[in-house]
């Protein structure tokens, strides 16, 4: 199998002078739990920096004030929660209502894990017709529900790291088999799979692309959440799922590379990537690939 198809990355279209926030789509982030409020906040902030016109972050009510305090430029939505500060199954109807007004839904970061959450995520995966990026605990919730993967209610991008991919497939994938395994899973699910790690692999089951950007400084908590928000933002600005995923992976890694030039690998944290998104977009637009 070839190393990568090397298809040129797409470019951002110039923004028209009469654009407004509705022009660039709405991202709905669904995630968070007590003790994991930073994850949905990072997704929301990355979606804003990635160019989404509006971002709404829907979290358990117990987490609302903390998540709202991270960033004044997104809005927050309180959802019913359980005693542990995780989403309650009663949140499903509210999420479906919010999703109806969104261009793209980002589901999973910081949700935590419980049987009730697994049922909730399975329902949303099947019933939300809007495009959806599923990451982190959203993937963990679906890992044991083989019957759900092929029942997506709409287009899906799945962004596992190797551990989440192992839980999904039921086994660890040797590095030399990662391309084949990811392509098979993408084809089975009818989704785009972003298998994160060194040279992140993006595939829709027919094509695949290996991302050349990124560095060891990005091996820190929260960088996956930033990627989820960036991909969601690009998807709601008109790119198809495959291009949104591979452009998102490229810009995410490029922002990390630019950050590492200033901060080094040891001190880099996920939030730093947001400060280098603008530079990454500019470098890509002038053709430094």
Task: Provide the strand spans (E) within 16-164.
Answer: 26-30, 54-60, 75-79, 104-107, 132-134, 156-158
109, 232 contact by CB (below 8 A): no
| Sign of torsion over alpha carbons 231, 149, 123, 84 | negative
Query: What does the pLDDT average to over 78-91?
Result: 96
What pLDDT digit, counting tens, does each position of 23-53 carry?
A: 999 999 999 999 999 999 999 999 999 999 9
The class (CATH top level) of 21-285 is alpha beta
Q: Break the chain into its structural domains and give their ranges.
A: 21-285
Task: Provide the strand spans (E) within the chain.
Answer: 26-30, 54-60, 75-79, 104-107, 132-134, 156-158, 192-195, 201-203, 208-210
Confidence band of 92 (pLDDT split at 50, 70, 90) = very high
Nearest to 246 by CA among 189, 285, 287, 207: 207
Record the tokens describing residue 55, joined without a space.
């971002």
What pLDDT digit, counting tens, does each position of 180-226 carry?
A: 999 999 999 999 999 999 999 999 999 999 999 999 999 999 999 99
What pLDDT digit, counting tens, does each position of 230-256 carry?
A: 999 999 999 999 999 999 999 999 999
Longest dimension (CA), the chain: 51
Of 11-15, 94-98, 271-275, give the lowest mean pLDDT range.
Answer: 11-15
What pLDDT digit, counting tens, does each position of 148-161 carry?
A: 999 999 999 999 99
For the whole prediction, is pTM greater than 0.85?
A: yes
What pLDDT digit, counting tens, does each position of 158-184 carry?
A: 999 999 999 999 999 999 999 999 999
């Amino acid at each position: 199998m070839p190393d990568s198809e090397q298809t040129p990355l797409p470019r951002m279209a110039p923004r028209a002078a009469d654009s407004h926030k509705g022009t660039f789509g709405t991202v709905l982030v669904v995630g968070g739990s007590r003790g994991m409020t930073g994850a949905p906040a990072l997704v929301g902030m990355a979606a804003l920096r990635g160019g989404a016109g509006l971002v709404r972050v829907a979290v358990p009510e117990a987490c609302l004030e903390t998540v709202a305090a991270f960033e004044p430029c997104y809005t927050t939505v309180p959802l019913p929660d359980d005693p542990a500060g995780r989403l309650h199954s009663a949140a499903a109807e509210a999420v479906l209502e919010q999703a109806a007004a969104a261009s793209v839904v980002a589901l999973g970061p910081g949700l935590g894990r419980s049987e009730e959450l697994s049922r909730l995520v399975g329902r949303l995966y099947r019933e939300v017709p809007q495009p959806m990026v599923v990451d982190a605990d959203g993937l963990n919730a679906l890992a044991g529900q083989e019957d759900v993967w092929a029942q997506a209610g709409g287009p899906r991008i799945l962004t596992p790291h190797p551990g989440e991919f192992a839980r999904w497939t039921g086994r660890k994938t040797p590095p030399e088999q990662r391309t084949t395994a990811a392509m098979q899973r993408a084809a089975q699910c009818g989704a785009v799979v972003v298998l994160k790690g060194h040279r992140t692999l993006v595939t829709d089951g027919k094509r695949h692309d290996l991302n050349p950007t990124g560095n060891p400084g990005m091996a820190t908590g929260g960088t996956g959440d930033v990627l989820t928000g960036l991909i969601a933002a690009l998807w709601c600005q008109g790119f198809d799922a495959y291009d949104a995923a591979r452009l998102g992976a490229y810009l995410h890694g490029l922002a990390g590379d630019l950050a590492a030039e200033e901060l080094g690998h040891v001190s880099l944290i996920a939030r730093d990537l947001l400060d280098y998104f603008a530079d990454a977009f500019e470098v890509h637009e002038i053709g430094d690939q």
